Structure 1
Amino acid sequence: MSKRALLEVIALDVEDAVAAQAGGADRLELVTEMAADGLTPSAATVSGIRAAVDIPLRVMLRLADGFAAGDVGRLVGVAEEMRAAGASEFVLGFLDADGLVDLDAVERVVAALGGCRWTFHRAIDHATDRDAVRKALDGLPGLDTYLTAGSSAGVGTGLPALLAEAARRGEPGYEQRILVGGGLQLAHVPYLVSAGLDAFHIGGAARGAEGWTGPVSADAVREWRRTLDAA
């Protein structure tokens, strides 16, 4: 029997988290401020969600819109605060002004994670050289996932890059799991699964007609779960 695909859902609060788990999510990404594409939530939110659900969760480490690290010392402090609140998995990713990975910032934050597992997020889709990002990060402790649409424009545009990178799985810099997210649609799923991709990330698609102004819908998540299981 094949292992089921991973479904990660963005949660903003306890209500979202409970609905996502009820709908069949395997993991949560915890953020706040989706108007800024997701920033670090409060420690109280993290501890509240950790107490409300028993599926894994990854906490965003990001202080401002964009992909610059900003105050790295503050980021390190936030990472330590999130760990104290019960977080054991994280999401992060920083670029410099040239669109290259800000390795110093990433390394300093990762050092504060003490070996915790983490995802390098869609900063890779905005980098000037995707391959260079992967090569620069190769070997960093805890890095097990890249969240990517294959393109800054979303999955529809990024499909060729996603398939090409999936085909390189196992090469240096390509050992990590590809978590497909960013404009992901149900119609993309069979094609991606047939290419060997097995992890999917949804945000707005997990909600009702209100979009980000409404909560996660267990029914919407359930539809994604069924589609992934059928594929």
Structure 2
Amino acid sequence: MSERAVLEVIALDVEDAVAAQAGGADRLELVTDMAADGLTPSAATVTGVRRAVDIPLRVMLRLADGFAAGDVGRLVRVAAELRQAGAEEFVLGFLDAEGGVDLAAVERVVAALDGRPWTFHRAIDRAADRDALRKQLDGMPGLDTYLTAGSADGVDDGLSVLLAEAARQGEPGYEQRLLVGGGLRLDHVPALLKAGVGGFHIGGAARPEGWEAPVSADAVTRWRTALDAA
């Protein structure tokens, strides 16, 4: 029997988290400020969500818009605060000015996570060389997932890249779970599942009334049902 696909839902607060779990989400990505594509939430939000739901949550480590690390020392301190607030899994990813992975920044932040699981987020879709980035991060402690649309412009443009990377699953640099998100629609799902993609990430799709409205449990259920049926 094949493993059930992971459905991850972006949550901004406790209300979102409760609705996502009720709809059948397997995991949350906890962020704030979607106008900046998702920044680090407060420790209080992490604590509240952790108390309200029992599904896993991955907490964003990103202090400003863009993909530069910025103040790495501050990132390390924030990671420690979030761990004290109950965070056990994380999301991060930093690029240098040339579009390569900022390996020094990633290594410093990951060291502060003490082996906790983490996702390298859609910074990979802005990387100058996706394959080189993956190989540079190969063996990084805790890295178990890449969140990607295959393109900075979304899944429609990146589908061929996603299918090609799924076909390389298990190769050095390609051992992590592929978590697809960024303009993802239900009509993308059959081809991705057939290719062996095991994770799906939704934000706006879980909010039919827009980002000003909370997560809809019914919308999440539609995705859960579609993934399971496919």
Q: Same fold judged by TM-score > 0.5?
A: yes
Match of 1:124 in 2: 124
Instruction: Give the Cα–Cα distance (whole angstroms) in 1 for the partners of residues 170 and 214 of structure 2.
Output: 38
Match of 2:67 in 1: 67
Give the % identical residues: 80
Match of 2:185 in 1: 185
The answer to whether the 8 Å contact 1:118/1:143 transfers is yes
Structure 2 residue 208 is the aligned partner of structure 1 residue 208: yes
Instruction: Give the Cα–Cα distance (whole angstroms) in 2 for the partners of residues 29 and 134 of structure 1.
Output: 21
> Any runs of at least 4 consecutive aligned residues in structure 1 with deviations exceeding 4 A, and if so which?
none
- The one-letter code matched in structure 2 to 1:20 is A
Q: CA deviation at 1:2?
A: 2.3
Gaps of 5+ in 2: none
Q: Deviations over 1:168-202 (max 9, x none)?
A: 11111110000000000011011111111110000
Q: Deviations over 1:6-61 (max 9, x none)?
A: 00000000000000000000000000000000000000000000000000000000
Secondary structure of the corresponding residue to residue 101 of structure 1: coil
Match of 1:227 in 2: 226
Alignment length (residue pairs)? 230
Per mean C-alpha deviation after superposition, the further-off stretch among 90-99 and 200-209 is 200-209
TM-score (norm 1): 0.99
Instruction: Give the Cα–Cα distance (whole angstroms) in 2 for the partners of residues 190 and 14 of structure 1.
Output: 31
Q: CA deviation at 1:226?
A: 0.6
Q: CA deviation at 1:206?
A: 0.4
Instruction: Give the Cα–Cα distance (whole angstroms) in 1 for the partners of residues 194 and 3 of structure 2.
Output: 14
Instruction: Give the Cα–Cα distance (whole angstroms) in 1 for the partners of residues 124 and 96 of structure 2.
Output: 12
Gaps of 5+ in 1: none
- The one-letter code matched in structure 1 to 2:144 is D
Match of 1:110 in 2: 110
Instruction: Provide the alpha-carbon RMSD of the alignment.
Output: 0.5
Structure 2 residue 29 is the aligned partner of structure 1 residue 29: yes
- The one-letter code matched in structure 2 to 1:229 is D
